[in-house]
Amino acid sequence: MLRGVLPLTGFAALTAALDVFAGNQLEQLRPATVAAVSFTLAAVLFLGFALVRDGVAVTFRPLRELRGDVVMVNVTTAATWLSMLYALQYLEPAVVNVVGIALGPVLTLVLNPLLRRGTAILRGEAWVSVGIGVLIGLLVWGSFAGHSGLDRTPGETFIGVVLVLITGVGSVANVIYSKRLSDADLPPRRVLAVRFFLILAMTWVLVAIDDAPALGSALGPSALIALFGVALPLYLLQVGIKRTEPITASILLTLSPLFAYLMQLADHRLTPSALTLGCVVGIVALVSVGTVVRMRHDREAVVAEAPSTV
What pLDDT is attached to residue 238?
76
Per-residue pLDDT tens digits for 230-251: 888 878 877 887 777 766 776 7
State in Å, rounded, how far the first CA of the chain is from the last one.
28
Tell me, yes or no, whether 310 lies in a domain: no
Residue type, 88: L
Tell me, yes or no, whether 92 lies in a domain: yes
Per-residue pLDDT tens digits for 192-221: 899 999 999 999 999 999 887 788 888 888
Model confidence at 265: pLDDT above 60: yes
Distance CA 291, CA 275 (A): 24
Tell me, yes or no, whether 145 lies in a domain: yes
Confidence of residue 156 (pLDDT cuts 50, 70, 90): confident
What pLDDT is attached to residue 154?
81
3-state helix, strand, coil in the chain (%, to 5): 80, 0, 20
Number of domains in the chain: 1
What is the DSSP annotation of 228-257?
IIIIHHHHHHHHHHHTS-HHHHHHHHTTHH
Q: Which residues lie below 8 Å from residue 244, measured CB to CB, with a gap of 6+?
A: 1, 4, 5, 8, 252
Axis-axis angle for helices 31-59, 197-209 (nearest 10): 140
- Rounded to an integer, the average pLDDT of 266-290 is 79
Q: Are 291 and 5 in contact (CB under 8 A)?
A: yes
Domain coverage including residue 105: 2-305
Model confidence at 294: pLDDT above 60: yes
What pLDDT is attached to residue 110?
66
DSSP for residue 147? -
Q: Which of 201, 227, 197, 193 is nearest to 46 (CA)?
A: 193
Tell me, yes or no, whether 298 lies in a domain: yes
Confidence of residue 105 (pLDDT cuts 50, 70, 90): low
Model confidence at 116: pLDDT above 60: no
Tell me, yes or no, whether 258 lies in a domain: yes
